[in-house]
Structure 1
Amino acid sequence: MQVTFTKRFKQTALFSTSALALAVASASHGYDIEVGDTDISIYGYAKLDLIYDVDSDLGDKSVGYGNIALDGDSSSTGHTGIHAAESRIGFSTATPMAGSELKTTIEGDFYGGGADSNAAEFRLRQAFGEWNGILAGQTWTNFASFIPGTPTIDFTGPGGRGILDRQAQLRYTTGGFSVAVEDPDKLGGNVNANISSDTITGYEPDGTPITTTSSSSAAKNKVPDLTARYEGASGNFSYAASGVMRYLEYDTNNNADADASWSDDTATGWGIALAGALEVTEDLTVRAGVSHGDGIGGYVDSNPYQAPAYVDSNGNLETVEATGGTVGASLKAGPGAFNLVYSVATADLDDAEVADSTNDTFESVWANYIWSPASTQNIAYGVEVGQHSRETVGGDDGDAIRVQGMVKYSF
């Protein structure tokens, strides 16, 4: 059963709007300094998010789909949150060197500390260098593309596309083509291979052992993920295609307390992502992106089942297929732009040995208006309404509405 959107969203959407380029304002450089042959840029922004969850409490920061109450479940309604955790600062340099240009970037924000906005901690977003086509460090995964990203005020933004997130990698770029080896432990996720073992912690007076049962993961990361991407443009149409190959493994041979029926197994994971954006007119742009894979894990943005594979009752490693997509439109109007965007991500768990309460589909619709007064991108205001839904393997579903506003000052 597909997740359906309630009449409440249709009513609320009448009072909502949509928009164009939130990301553009984020990239403006406030201070440029020249030291010898090196150009140094300092940039960032301070952003305040004001959030009201009409239904379930979706979390203090980005939307937490797992917090959506299922139909028939009791939950409190009406939750307000205000935070500035997305505020960001970055430094970049550019130095001519040996016929090319050496570039470095170090950037962070305060989105660490988990979902609680009161636990806003500084975290590293990007730290990389680039010279002669070779990039090394932590930055956007090569599997991702900004092309299908219709702007939202919600920090995470549309799901379903190739994940737009950062991880450590070594990348080579020539023209529109790039290939990279990337950390296999972060975005793609580890296989679900949790095993239980008993440890003797003492003895009863009669000599009976006292044991403690603990769970540990037998997932292994032996080989980095391999990604490739090509981006190009033709007239008013921009496009991108990317792929990822993964080596998945679990091994309990080094755990003497593991059940003898658990041993080891390997599997190959793969995924593809396609993206396109068309400037229909000077004021109207439409964007779309799709992603699909088997054993792809978190490379599908907002994948309901983050593990790329699981160990079945026979000890075999079974990969999980996942599919997602997003489509959106931006229309310039007045001092800003309207945005309307839909996204969906689903995991194929029909044959998986998981509980009926396991999530298998996430859906969202956002509508917003973002504008910049005084003809400057350094100041941005915005209002947004989002309808978010989840469905479980057992067919239960639920939905919730979030209203969000922002004030953003960039430098």
Structure 2
Amino acid sequence: MAKQTSYDTGTADDSSIGYAAFLAGKIAITDMISIQGAINFADGASAYVYRSGSNFAGADAYVDGNGDLETIEAVGGALGATFGLGNGRSVNAGYGTAMSDLDDAVQSGAVAATTTEQNTSMYINYMWSPVDSVSMGVQFENLETESQGGADGDANRLMYIAQYNF
């Protein structure tokens, strides 16, 4: 995928072409166990790397000290496993991470060192379908984040879902 990013202040302007590439797959180990994964790379299209940057999408580019628009690279990956337990029940586990290369952007002064550079998520859940048209699940997730300057944080969350399909 390709996209154009540009800026125009009225006195200065520039543009760049960004791109992103994806590879994903799933393999059934047995009729009850599958492994799936994906890897994403972007240069100037960070929104296409899930969970890059803060608030789900990092910046695509920045304007350097010379007024040139410079693209930002991002890479992400995820790996998951599903274990079918029969009777509409399963256990799923996953790990994902996304990283943006912000070193040049911070060095140029265009991006603050407090900007999110890496996000990581690990989860495990249990899903079941007690009756037709009803799905339920519980999930525990650990989330970690790190800024370009090295500050980090983490959080744990427990979620529950109940869904009825009409």
- 1:74-153, aligned counterparts within 5 Å? none
Question: Residue 326 of structure 1: CA displacement?
Answer: 0.3
Query: Of residues 143, 146, 157 in structure 2, which corresponds to 1:391?
Result: 146
DSSP 3-state at the match of 1:395: coil
CA distance in 2, matches of 1:368, 1:319: 37
* Equivalent residue for 1:310, pick from 53, 62, 68: 62
SS of residue in 2 equivalent to 1:351: helix
Instruction: Give a deviation string over 1:77-132, Cα, whole Å, max 9, x none.
Output: xxxxxxxxxxxxxxxxxxxxxxxxxxxxxxxxxxxxxxxxxxxxxxxxxxxxxxxx
User: Does residue 24 of structure 2 align to residue 275 of structure 1?
Assistant: yes
Q: CA separation in 2, counterparts of 1:396 and 1:248?
A: 29
Q: Kindly indicate whether residue 14 of structure 2 is the aligned counterpart of residue 265 of structure 1.
A: yes
| Alignment partner of 1:288 out of 30, 37, 41 | 37
Rounded to whole Å, the distance in 1 between the matches of 2:34 and 2:114 is 39
Shift in Å, 1:307: 2.0
| Partner of residue 400, structure 1 | 155
Q: What are the superposed Cα offsets for residues 343-390 of structure 1, whole Å, 9 maximum, x if unpaired?
A: 00111001113211110000000100000013x3x1011111000010
Structure 2 partner of 1:300: 49
The match for 1:345 among 98, 117, 124 is 98
SS in structure 2 of the partner of residue 288 of structure 1:
strand
The equivalent of 1:322 in structure 2 is 74
Letter in 1 for 2:3: R
Higher relative contact order (CA 8 A, sep 6+): 1
The alignment-based identity, stated in percent, is 38
Q: Please tell me the root mean square deviation across aligned C-alpha atoms, in Å.
A: 1.1
Q: Structure 1 residue 334: deviation in Å?
A: 3.9
Alpha-carbon offset, residue 313 of structure 1 = 2.0
Q: Find the residue that maps to 1:332 and give its secondary structure.
A: strand
Unpaired stretches in structure 2, ≥5 consecutive residues = none
Structure 1 stretches lacking a partner, 5+ long: 1-243, 254-261
Considering fraction of residues, name the structure with more strand.
2
1:271: Cα distance to partner? 0.9
C-alpha deviation, 1:306, in angstroms? 2.3
Deviation of residue 251 (structure 1)? Answer: 1.0
In structure 1, give the amino acid aligned to 2:101.
D
Question: Residue in 1 aligned with 2:112?
Answer: 355
TM-score, structure 2 normalization:
0.91
Note the alpha carbon deviations across 1:138-174, whole angstroms, 9 max, x for none: xxxxxxxxxxxxxxxxxxxxxxxxxxxxxxxxxxxxx
Give, in whole Å, the separation in 2 of the partners of 1:382 and 1:396. 33
Corresponding residue pairs, total: 158
SS in 2 for 1:373: coil
Moved over 2 A (4+): none
